[in-house]
Amino acid sequence: MIITSFLNILSFSQVIFLCNKQSDCYIGSYCDSTSKCQDCSELKHCNALNTNCCSKDFLVQCVNNPYKCKEDNGSSNSTYETGFNSYLFLVSFTIITISYLSIGSYNNKYINRKTGIEILPNIIFWRNLYGLVKDGCFFTFSKCKECYHSRFYNTLST
């Protein structure tokens, strides 16, 4: 008798979930300003916790958000990361170049007993580099030119 009356009380009671952040609620519901979980389909005005209906946490909870939220692709972070990566590349490149020239020049001057311009490391490669780049450019442009000219019809001679 006591058990059935207790079950009857439980069957008519309503459970209200309290929350402190958006992720405390089930997906499809959000944490409102009174710290209660509300259904996203009943959302009429933005009364989310911290009143930010475009926050990432809110958008995860309410996928069909009726508010026009502009997408944040992390542009502020990506600009910072790009600048930092560029700085890191330039510093690394400078340190490696100075180390390459210093160690190679020391090795050629004091160990291999070279003098003049010959103390630079791999001087033969550096002397030939301009010609190699020039040949590569001519080759690439000739291939592009062949591809471009083969797209047109040949003229007929009369």
Residue-level pLDDT at 138:
94
pTM over 0.75: no
Rounded to 5°, the CA angle 132-134-135 comes to: 65
* CA separation, residue 82 to residues 75, 77, 124, 141 (Å): 10, 8, 36, 32
Can you say whether the dihedral through the CA atoms of 138, 139, 144, 146 is positive or negative?
positive
CA–CA separation, 30 and 40 (whole Å)? 6
Average pLDDT over residues 65-91: 70
Q: What is the 3-state secondary structure of the chain? A: CHHHHHHHHHHCCCCCCECCCHHHCCCCEEEECCCEEEEHHHCCCCCEHHHCCCCHHHHHHCCCCCCCCCCCCCHHHHHHHHHHHHHHHHHHHHHHHHHHHHHHHHHHHHHCCCCHHHHCCCHHHHHHHHHHHHHHHHHHHHHHHHHHHCCCCCCCCC
Residue-level pLDDT at 69:
62
Q: Is the pLDDT of residue 102 over 80?
A: yes
Residue-level pLDDT at 18:
67
Q: How much of the chain, in percent, has pLDDT values that exceed 70?
A: 52
Mean pLDDT of the chain: 75
Residue-level pLDDT at 106:
96
Across 18-27, 53-62, 82-91, which has the greatest mean pLDDT? 82-91
Q: Please tell me which residue, 13 or 131, carries the higher pLDDT value.
A: 131
Rounded to the nearest 5°, which phi and psi values hold at 57?
-65, -40
Residue-level pLDDT at 105:
96
